[in-house]
Amino acid sequence: MDAPGARVVATARRPEESEGLKSLAKAAPAGRLTVLPMDVSDDASVDAAARAVAPDLGALDELVNNAGTYGPRGDHALAAAPDEVRRILEVNTVGPYRVTRMFLPLLRKGSAARVVFITSKMGSIGDAPGGAAYAYRMSKSALNMLGANLAADLRGDGIVCLLLHPGWVKTRMGGDRAPVTIPDSVTGMRSLAARVTLAESGRFFDYSGAPVPW
């Protein structure tokens, strides 16, 4: 909602259980925020959300793929069960593929449209892998491949794709030891997303704008 008059659609698997979304809905000006249920791991749920907003919005200028899960911790030396790895990939990699695919018709009608993928340095092979967290690391590496290649495919449509590492943030996933606050991370990513051009589409940056190695 950082652009004057912007309309925002926020989704969650169970919006009624999200205190953050409830607070946001109370603070948002009338008609500026729509909250919908959407499970990124379910085709029917994502399709329903896209169909719900299409008649009202008509077009979409920006899509932020933010949903994600960390998965098992302490899974050194392949300790996590394959089914658990598959679940993480479904949410973190197939989920953004599914959501972007469903909302692409609206993005193609948007103005200077862009797709933002919230990824992680933990998916970077060039940033000194540290072991463990296999499912999470694999899912983010695959997400990076998705974003980089989609940028090439959508360049002719004028749609920017951006891969962003938010930092180690004080969230439910990041924990209390994380050094980056939510406002600092979000402010940095929003500023970067607003100024990146088509020439930089498909690049991998952290929230401060510094390039991240693949």
SS3 category, 34: strand
- Are β-strands 160-165 and 114-118 bridged in parallel, bridged antiparallel, or unpaired? parallel
| CA-closest candidate to residue 63, choices 84, 80, 46 | 46
For residue 140, what are the contacts with CB-CB under 8 A and spacing of at least 6?
92, 119, 120, 122, 123
At 71, give phi and psi (nearest 5°).
Answer: 90, -165
26 carries an active-site annotation: no
DSSP state of 29: P
What tokens were used for 165? 């590492």
Beta strands in 29-166 (DSSP E): 33-37, 62-65, 114-118, 160-165
Catalytic: which of 121, 134, 140, 207? 140
Say how many CA atoms lie within 13 Å of 108 toward its Cβ: 10
How far is residue 123's CA from residue 178's CA, in Å, rounded to a whole number? 18
Catalytic: which of 134, 136, 170, 207? 136
170 carries an active-site annotation: no
| CA-closest candidate to residue 154, choices 83, 212, 105 | 105
Query: Which residues are catalytic, by number?
Result: 136, 140
